[in-house]
Amino acid sequence: MLKLIIIAGARPNFMKIAPIVAAAKRRPAEFQLTVVHTGQHYDAAMSDAFFRDLNLPEPDVYLGVGSGSHAVQTAAVIKAFEPVVLKEKPDWVVVVGDVNSTLACALVCAKLNIKVAHVEAGLRSRDRSMPEEINRLLTDQIADLLLTPSPDADANLRAEGIPESRICFVGNVMIDSLLKQLQRARDSTILNQLDLNERDYAVLTLHRPSNVDEQNAFARILDALAAIGARLPVIFPAHPRTRKMIDELGLARRVEGISNLRLIEPIGYLDFLRLMSGARLVLTDSGGIQEETTVLGIPCITLRENTERPITVEMGTNTIAGTDPNKIVESADRALNNPPDKSRLQAPEFWDGQSADRILDALLAPRIVN
Ligand code: UD1
């Protein structure tokens, strides 16, 4: 029996831990699991709604660290998590993704000689101005087992000199959640609530500091949204940080002035899945949404200069448009004028709903850890 602690901190972690938690509960003879929520995200809409939609049990341990600067938040998780590890003495700690909680918990374990497995290892944007890129690089350096979602991630790790014995390709566990919940998401009433017709609207998400923390960058994206909004309604469930920045940067009137841009509160997993799968186009700076649209076959315009998920571009659904308004509008026009042929839809290898069990199998497998 392996004793595991699994960590979730922020919204994009919840859909990654849910399938692993469910798989461990199906295998009680092999795994005993403790779920730790760091409290990096704490609003009902950013956290509780996801636990409910994903059928996640209440966390066993809630660290309640909340928001803060990167240093303050990371340090708060480190300080709060160490006593949990000392008390539980797990065989493995499983961290997912690239948020501050991921790195903080991996670092605690590395110093205590507790084994860490990193789910979604090896992704690289090669843009060190992104806080997530720093979290990815450092977590992969100190984790014992690097569980990768796609072959490009394996190649990145090898190129950094990480020994083969630490790398294991398991596929994309977030897609386990998507495939499992798609049927339930069809019952969502979000399209009716927002008075939308299937394939007649675009969905936008925006929260990266590089896009929303600086007035000029944000304003340029708004210019592009005004042009796209002339073709179809753009539904914008706004992250709390984005909403705050709209006010702080004095952009509220500009946002209100784009009549077809509809700012709404953040929505839960099932409603978002429904909204995204019915959309004609998705515009985003999120990493996970680039992957979800690949599996759903929805054109995605990524409002960043780079991606750590190049496989989504290779599969043909994702376009890296950057933040130049002309390029964004051109990419959106191209996607709207050439709807994808869904009969040719293909998912990358191991994005098949079985990654959680591959992750658990990898934890059980004896391996030489250098
Ligand atoms: C974090 C992750 C990012 C991920 C994003 C998804 C890091 C470095 N960043 O960014 O990779 O894509 O989550 O959402 O870990 N806030 C609330 N309520 C909450 C949480 C946050 O109002 O429940 C507000 C606070 O004002 C906070 C701000 O959002 O200061 C930013 O939160 P934070 O956790 O620092 O980073 P995110 O931008 O959410």
Which helix (H) or strand (E) is 220 found in, with range?
Answer: helix 215-229
User: Do 23 and 114 contact (CB within 8 A), yes or no?
Assistant: no
- Which two structure tokens, joined as six digits, stand for 215? 């007035």
Q: Can you give the pLDDT at residue 254? A: 96
Residues of the chain with pLDDT > 90, as a percent, come to 96
Distances (CA, A) of 309 to 120, 172, 221, 285, 329: 11, 11, 22, 12, 22
C-alpha 224/C-alpha 329 separation (Å) is 6
Q: Can you give the pLDDT at residue 181? A: 98
Mean pLDDT of 121-134: 97
Three-class SS of residue 282? Answer: strand
Instruction: Report the separation in Å between the CA atom of 241 and the middle of ligand 1, taken as the mean of its atom positions.
Output: 7
Which strands sit side by side in the sheet containing 115-119, from one edge to the other?
61-62, 31-37, 2-8, 92-96, 115-119, 145-148, 167-169
Residue nearest atom 13 of ligand 1, based on CA coordinates: 10
First to last CA, the chain: 23
Q: Can you give the pLDDT at residue 36? A: 98
Q: Report the C-alpha dihedral over residues 357, 182, 38, 144, rounded to 10 degrees.
A: 30
Three-class SS of residue 219? Answer: helix
Q: Can you give the pLDDT at residue 341? A: 84
Instruction: Report the separation in Å between the CA atom of 227 and the middle of ligand 1, taken as the mean of its atom positions.
Output: 29
pLDDT at 19 over 90: yes
Distances (CA, A) of 80 to 46, 123, 131, 326: 21, 27, 21, 46
Q: Can you give the pLDDT at residue 188? A: 98
pTM above 0.85, yes or no: yes
Q: How confident is the model at residue 347 (pLDDT cuts 50, 70, 90)?
A: very high
Q: Can you give the pLDDT at residue 339? A: 87
Pairing verdict, β 145-148 and 61-62: unpaired
pLDDT at 79 over 60: yes
Least confidently predicted of 151-155, 311-315, 363-367: 363-367
Instruction: Report the separation in Å between the CA atom of 10 and the middle of ligand 1, taken as the mean of its atom positions.
Output: 7
pLDDT at 370 over 70: no
| Model pLDDT for residues 83-104, shown as the tens digit of each residue | 999 999 999 999 999 999 999 9
pLDDT at 368 over 60: no
| Model pLDDT for residues 210-262, shown as the tens digit of each residue | 999 999 999 999 999 999 999 999 999 999 999 999 999 999 999 999 999 99
- Which two structure tokens, joined as six digits, stand for 303? 């409002």
Which of 38, 46, 48, 67 has most ligand 1 atoms within 8 Å of its beta carbon, as the pocket-test mutant? 67
| Model pLDDT for residues 282-307, shown as the tens digit of each residue | 999 999 999 999 999 999 999 999 99
Mean pLDDT of the chain: 97
In the chain, where do the E strands start and end? 2-8, 31-37, 61-62, 92-96, 115-119, 145-148, 167-169, 202-205, 234-237, 261-264, 281-284, 300-302, 318-320
Q: Can you give the pLDDT at residue 153? A: 98
Q: Can you give the pLDDT at residue 344? A: 80
Three-class SS of residue 336? Answer: helix
C-alpha 203/C-alpha 189 separation (Å) is 16
pLDDT at 369 over 70: no
Q: Which residues contact 194 (CB under 8 A, 6 or more apart)?
A: 235, 262, 264, 275
Helix then strand then coil, in percent of the chain rounded to 5, is 50, 15, 35
- Which two structure tokens, joined as six digits, stand for 257? 């002035």
| Model pLDDT for residues 140-182, shown as the tens digit of each residue | 999 999 999 999 999 999 999 999 999 999 999 999 999 999 9
Catalytic entry in 37, 41, 118, 207: 207
| Model pLDDT for residues 21-69, shown as the tens digit of each residue | 999 999 999 999 999 999 999 999 999 999 999 999 999 999 999 999 9
User: Do 319 and 300 contact (CB within 8 A), yes or no?
Assistant: yes
Q: Can you give the pLDDT at residue 367? A: 67
Compute φ and ψ for 145, nearest 5 degrees: -130, 125
Residue in 305, 309, 285, 292 with CA at minimum distance from that of residue 208: 285
Q: Can you give the pLDDT at residue 345? A: 85
**99 in ligand 1 pocket by Cβ < 6 Å?**
yes
Which residue in the block uniquely carries the two structure tokens 């050439």? 338
HEC string for 135-195: HHHHHHHHCCEEEECCHHHHHHHHHCCCCHHHEEECCCHHHHHHHHHHHHHCCCCHHHHCC
**241 in ligand 1 pocket by Cβ < 6 Å?**
yes
C-alpha 27/C-alpha 365 separation (Å) is 15
pLDDT at 129 over 80: yes
Q: Which ligand 1 atom is the nearest neighbour of the CA of 286? A: 12
Q: Can you give the pLDDT at residue 346? A: 87
Mean pLDDT of 126-136: 97
Compute φ and ψ for 240, nearest 5 degrees: -55, -35
Mark whether 70 is an active-site residue: no
Phi-psi region of 199 (alpha: psi -120 to 50; beta: other; left: phi over 0): left
